[in-house]
Amino acid sequence: MGKGFRKCRKTGARILTLDEQVFQHTVEIVIGIEDDARMCEYLKIHHGSSHKPDSGSWAGQTLIVDDVQNTVFVFLNDFDLTPYWLGVLTHELFHAVHMVFDQIGLPALEKGGQESHAYLLQWLSQKFLQAFLSDPRAIKR
């Protein structure tokens, strides 16, 4: 896992890479990408991906890119410690958890399987907030 946020010189995005060890997946959280065109530019620059956009603009978006193995991308067009952005973060991390579990072949939320989903959501949230609160590169300048 990276030590904290890093900044992309070309797009200005702030990037946090979380390497989850139990299910061996990476969740890459990218702040400052505002639409599909910039998301595609970011994916091409950092991962050589040829992902094609399909949704326009958004507050947050979570996706798996076919040509990047074991990685879930969470894009937020901004972030701050406000109820709105904490809600958007939680919403997108919820999608990320489901995508990780889909990729490893574990069933979606069902009776008795909720705890592992909840633990992964908690871990991702804690790691993101720890990095955001302790790393000045996370704050938009």
Cα gap 27→31, rounded to integer Å: 13
Three-class SS of residue 81? coil
According to DSSP, the residues that pair with 73 across neighbouring strands are 28, 63
All structural domains of the chain with their residue ranges: 6-138
- What is the per-residue pLDDT for 1? 43
pTM over 0.85: yes
Per-residue pLDDT of the chain (141 residues; tens, 9 = 90+): 457 899 999 989 999 999 999 889 999 999 999 888 889 889 999 998 877 766 666 899 999 998 889 999 999 999 999 999 999 999 999 999 999 998 888 766 666 668 888 999 999 999 999 999 988 667 664
User: What are 64's two structure tokens?
Assistant: 């798996």
- What is the per-residue pLDDT for 108? 67
Contact residues for 41 (Cβ-Cβ < 8 A; gap 6+): 10, 11
User: What are 97's two structure tokens?
Assistant: 């958890």
